[in-house]
Structure 1
Amino acid sequence: MRGTVWQAILLGLSATTSHTAIVWAIRLAGPYFERSLDLDKAEIGDRGRRRARLRRPGLQAWAAAARRRSP
């Protein structure tokens, strides 16, 4: 497929705008849904929450260093 530079610019602006709008909608709706979330009753359990925390960037290295420090 071929397009013009102007079409590429419009596509980039459109994708950026729509992505930003979706991210902000999720961010603003988060506190509303968080109130009704009970992590103690969630199916993932404590072990799943620990795994989810370790997937966050930077925490894997921290967890590995903490394991090396502990007796």
Structure 2
Amino acid sequence: MVNPGKLLFPEEELGKRSAQRNPILVDLVHRIGLVEKADSGIRRIRKLMKENGSKIKFEIGTYFSV
């Protein structure tokens, strides 16, 4: 997963806090059913990777990737 923008908050808060660049777009995709639950992605990725025994690597700079 790659996000072309940098994090909107400190790295230490990753998975504990969320911020949307475009709240109107987030609301739209939620209303039409394209997302299950906003703000749950990093926690869900961490949980599934742990259950699978996989290691997770975050790359943070002018973009963000998992």
Task: Please classify the TM superposition score into its range, dividing by the shorter chain length.
Answer: under 0.3
Greater fraction strand: 2
Could you state the TM-score of these two structures normalised by the residue count of structure 2?
0.24
Higher relative CO (CA 8 A, sep ≥ 6), structure 1 or 2?
A: 2
TM-score by length of 1: 0.23
Structure whose CA Rg is larger: 1
